[in-house]
Chain A
């Protein structure tokens, strides 16, 4: 069965500092991995995905994520945080050899302080 873990409920970082939001996953086949961001009372916006190829994936708004197969991790990173990055971030996984079901992590609230 697929599962996703986001071990941190909240991440606090000062504006201008690098940020990392952690994600680990478990799937039976090859993973398709996604990061989404959610602003209050809104749907989810796609940030980036890993399907295959280069382990470092670059996405929207300056975010990137690194796929680490040995650690089954897909941490989201940004070199310099902005106050406007404050939101709820979800990691998601889909079993690449299975169906379309996408499982989401519990979410991590990012708070960037000015």
Chain B
């Protein structure tokens, strides 16, 4: 399958700082990327959908000013957690789609964010 690389895999930051997570599709052009948040022993919660070159579409209840998403190219999307707080600690996962609705999305390996 296609390869999606997510970086970093693990990050610890101080409360009040910002953290950027990168999601790259390595061998295909991802017209659409998705960002999920996974709580312990819980399912994936879709945070937002981003299309290359346009603003992300956020799910209800997700603060767009806190979770900044940029999809500047067909191979890169970034999620920036601004002014992070301990409650933002979570496992964040991106996925990328080539744009065909009948194809599966490919997932990055996830980023474990710990805010101290």
List residues of A whose CB falls within 8 A of some B CB. Answer: 32, 34, 36, 41-46, 49, 51-52, 90, 94, 96, 99-107
B43 and A106 form a contact (CB under 8 A): yes
Please name all residues of chain A whose beta carbon is closer than 8 Å to the beta carbon of B108 when the two chains form the complex: 43
Q: Number of B residues whose C-beta is below 8 Å from A?
A: 25
- Complex Cα spacing A21 to B47, Å: 26
Please name all residues of chain B whose beta carbon is closer than 8 Å to the beta carbon of A34 when the two chains form the complex: 104
Please name all residues of chain B whose beta carbon is closer than 8 Å to the beta carbon of A36 when the two chains form the complex: 107
A96 and B34 form a contact (CB under 8 A): no
- Complex Cα spacing A94 to B102, Å: 9
- In chain B, residues 9-42, which have Cβ atoms closer than 8 Å to a Cβ of chain A? 32, 34, 36, 42
Known: A51-B102, A100-B97, A102-B34. A44 touches B107 (CB 8 A): yes
B101 and A103 form a contact (CB under 8 A): no
Q: Is B69 an interface residue (CB 8 A)?
A: no
- Complex Cα spacing A6 to B84, Å: 32
Known: A90-B44, A100-B32, A100-B97. A41 touches B110 (CB 8 A): yes
- Complex Cα spacing A96 to B109, Å: 26
A46 and B1 form a contact (CB under 8 A): yes
Please name all residues of chain B whose beta carbon is closer than 8 Å to the beta carbon of A46 when the two chains form the complex: 1, 104, 106-107
